[in-house]
Amino acid sequence: MRVLLGEDAAAGLGGGATMGQKMVLIGIAVSAMLSSVNDYLITRGDLEKAEAAKTWQHGSLNAISWGQMEVQSIILVIAIPLILMLTRRLRTLELGDDLAAGLGLPVKRSVNLLVAAAVLLVAIAISVAGPIGFLALIAPQLARRFWHTPGTAMWHSALMGAAILVLADFVAARALAPFQIPVGLVTGAIGGLYMLWLLNRQRH
Please give the pLDDT value at position 9.
43
In this structure, the answer to whether residues 149 and 203 fall within a common structural domain is: yes
Q: Would 51 be classed as within a structural domain? A: no
* 90-132 per-position pLDDT tens digit: 889 888 889 999 999 999 999 999 989 988 998 998 888 888 9
Q: What is the tally of structural domains in the chain?
A: 2
Q: Is 49 within a domain? A: no
18-68 pLDDT, tens digit per residue, is 666 777 788 788 888 988 888 888 888 788 888 878 778 888 888 788 887
Looking at the domain assignment, is residue 53 inside a domain? no
Query: Do residue 117 and residue 182 come from a single domain?
Result: no
Residues 97 and 164 in one domain: no
Domain boundary among 129, 154, 176: 129
Residue 121 and residue 89 share a domain: yes
Same domain, 136 and 201: yes
pLDDT digits (tens, 9 = 90+) for 139-182: 988 898 888 887 777 888 989 999 999 999 999 988 887 888 88
Q: Which residue range is the domain that position 105 belongs to? A: 65-129
Domain boundary (129, 147, 180) is at 129
What pLDDT is attached to residue 57? Answer: 84
pLDDT confidence band for 10 (50 / 70 / 90): very low
Q: Specify if 199 maps to a domain.
A: yes
DSSP 31-44: HHHHHHHHHHHHHH
Whether 182 is covered by a domain: the verdict is yes
Residues 141 and 170 in one domain: yes
Instruction: Name the domain boundary from 129, 162, 184.
Output: 129
Phi/psi of residue 96, nearest 5 degrees: 110, 150
pLDDT at 1 over 60: no
Confidence (pLDDT) at 18: 64
Judgement on whether residues 137 and 169 belong to the same structural domain of the protein: yes
Domain membership flag for residue 9: no
180 domain residue, yes or no: yes
Residue 177 shares a structural domain with residue 194:
yes
- Residues 76 and 125 reside in one and the same domain: yes
Is 190 within a domain?
yes
